[in-house]
Amino acid sequence: MEDILKILNEFRPDINFQSSERLIDDGLLDSLDIVNIVAELDSEFDIEIPVEEITPENFNSVSAINRLVDRLKEEA
């Protein structure tokens, strides 16, 4: 969870990720951020986040991202 937070902060140091549950819905992260973050997550955790998983449910909060990453790690 901390490594995910580190990655997020690397791209958007201006956002307080811990306090938001609506990162996508509130427009805090845009498509460019998503791409950068996903590319980094793929590389860091050796997973492949497919495009269909890029949904608000999976990216609205740090814990949601964490759940996604854990699930994909297991399926790999």
Partner 1 sequence: MTFNSLHFFIFFPIVAMLYYIIPKKYQWIWLLIVSYVFYLLANFKFGFFLMSTTVTTYYAAIGVGKINEHQKDVLLANKDTYAKEQIKELKANSKKHKKQVVAGVLLINFGILAFLKYSNFFIKSVDGVLGAFHSSASVPTLKLLLPLGISFYTFQAMGYVIDVYRGKYQPEKNLAKLALFLSFFPQIMEGPIGRYNELAHQLYGQHEFDYNNAKFGLQLMLWGYFKKVVIADRAGILVNMVYSNYQSFSGLQVAFVAVIYAVQIYADFSGYIDIATGAAQFLGIRLAPNFNRPYFSKSVSEFWRRWHISLGTWFKDYLFYPLSLSKTGINLGKFSRKHFSPAFAKNVPAFFGLSVVWLTTGLWHGSDWHYVIYGVYYGALIILSMQCKPLLQSLTAKLRIPTESFGWKLFRVARTFSLVCLGFILFRAENMGIAFSMMKSIFTLSKPALSTSFIFNNFTRTDFAFLILSIIVLVIVSLLQRKRNLRETLSKQNIVFRWSIYCTAALSVIFLGVLASNDPSQFIYFQF
d(CA 55, CA 61): 11
* In the complex, least distance from residue 36 CB atom to partner 1, rounded to whole angstroms: 6
- The reply on whether position 66 binds partner 1 by CB under 8 A is no
Candidate ranges 15-23, 29-37, 56-64, 65-73; the one touching partner 1 (CB under 8 A) = 29-37
* In the complex, least distance from residue 68 CB atom to partner 1, rounded to whole angstroms: 14
- The reply on whether position 30 binds partner 1 by CB under 8 A is yes
d(CA 64, CA 23): 10
Burial 51-68 (b: 16+ CB within 10 A, else e): eeebeeebbbbbebbeeb
- Contact (CB, 8 A) for 3 and 44: yes
Residues binding partner 1 (CB under 8 A): 10-11, 30-32, 34-36, 38-40, 42-43, 49-52, 54
